Amino acid sequence: MRIVEFAGIGPGPFCGMLLADMGADVIVIERAGTALSVGAGGMLNRGKRSIALNLKLPADLEAAQRLLDRADGLIEGYRPGVMERLGLGPEPALARNPRLVYGRVTGWGQSGPLAQAAGHDINYVALTGVLSLSARAGAAPTIPATMIGDMAGGALFLAFGLVCALLEARSSGRGQVIDAAMVDGVNTMATLIHSLRAQNFWRDAPEQNFFLHSSPFYDSFECADGKHLSLGAIEPQFYAELLRRLGFDDVDAARQYQLRDWPELRARVAERLLTRTRDAWCTLLEGTDACVAPVLSLAEAPGHPHHQARGNFVEVDGVLQPAPSPRFSRTPARLPQSPPEPGAHTQDILRELGLDT
């Protein structure tokens, strides 16, 4: 399966990486003569081929059009209208290749009053209400950089949409346009929370919601060495196990959701966890039903025994990086390959297209 990706940053290249990991022939059209932007290329181009084209030149534009004529799918992450101005929009591309699945990923989507506005991950997540889910009493909500909007709401939903449309095209013979907006994807991911609110289980006030950093059993707490331990004992049996292992035999586990108990007990938990280092607590608690895990840095994570046992990180030409996922029992993902230099396959690809090199 051949996917043509127009070089960009963040979600577009990540979507292409996911498909390349699974064996697709992903060809990245790089801008000839320009330096890569931060967030473009690198590991996200592993396993892909690269062609450098100046789409303002007729010959290079024709090469891009021929690539699309032979492609199964396309990935682009420009503002709405950019591809149309290049003459590579969905209408002419599908006219030349009716089976083409045309994947577009943007923050706000191809339509709506914000479609042409600039924005970034935090803005898209904020508009859906999802940013508020990380609220902490007395503090502004925060989220991990790029994970929720760009990669989950954008790239993963684009990849899902592309695969769905590619499967449908096998029977219908017709491609279509995928409008993957990060704001849409994040909104869809919040379905469980909306369901909890509809059942009066989710409270917006942080001090009344165990997810929002107010409870003694669901949060990250500092340890004696300044590192942190995460607790996630939501279910009653796991909460009882946590209390037992922390030595709180005087605490009634049946009162887990008595909100008035939380401040005092939370203070006790915080004080107890400050008596040992993070790794010492892990020796006592990790792997039990107390629902505990260390808060690892990006540098520490690859060395954790669970990641090592599952092969969750691989080294490619001396560079350690996350391994492909998910796992397949019969047709495993291919091992990551080094990302190509921009334009490394230009001559080979032009020859495949029957163009002079």
Give the β-pairing of 228-232 and 292-294: antiparallel
Distance CA 90, CA 74 (A): 10
Specify burial of residue 44 (Cβ count, 10 A radius: 0-12, 13-18, 19+): buried
- Cβ atoms of 209 and 234 within 8 Å: the answer is no
What is the number of other CB atoms lying within 10 angstroms of the CB of residue 229?
Answer: 23
Pair 133, 186: CB distance under 8 Å: no
What are the C-alpha distances in Å from 84 to residues 78, 92, 190, 300, 338?
Answer: 10, 9, 32, 45, 32
Q: Are 292 and 240 in contact (CB under 8 A)?
A: no
222 sits in which H/E element = strand 218-222
Could you confirm whether 225 is annotated as catalytic?
Answer: no
Tell which residue, 303, 234, 200, 223, has the closest CA to residue 270.
223
Question: Which residues sit opposite 6 in a β-bridge?
Answer: 29
- Nearest in space to 81 (alpha carbons), one of 73, 90, 72: 90
Exposed, middle or buried by CB within 10 Å (0-12, 13-18, 19+), for 304? middle
Choose, from 25, 120, 228, 307, the residue flagged as catalytic: 120
Q: Which candidate in 21, 60, 150, 184 is catalytic?
A: 150
Peptide bond into 326 cis (omega under 30): yes
Under DSSP, the state recorded for 147 is I
Beta strands in 68-170 (DSSP E): 73-76, 101-106
CA distance 141 to 196: 20
Is 25 considered catalytic here?
A: no
18 CB contacts (<8 Å, ≥6 apart)? 155, 156, 159, 324
Helix (H, G, I), strand (E, B) or coil at 228: strand
Instruction: Report, as residue numbers or ranges, the catalytic residues.
Output: 120, 150
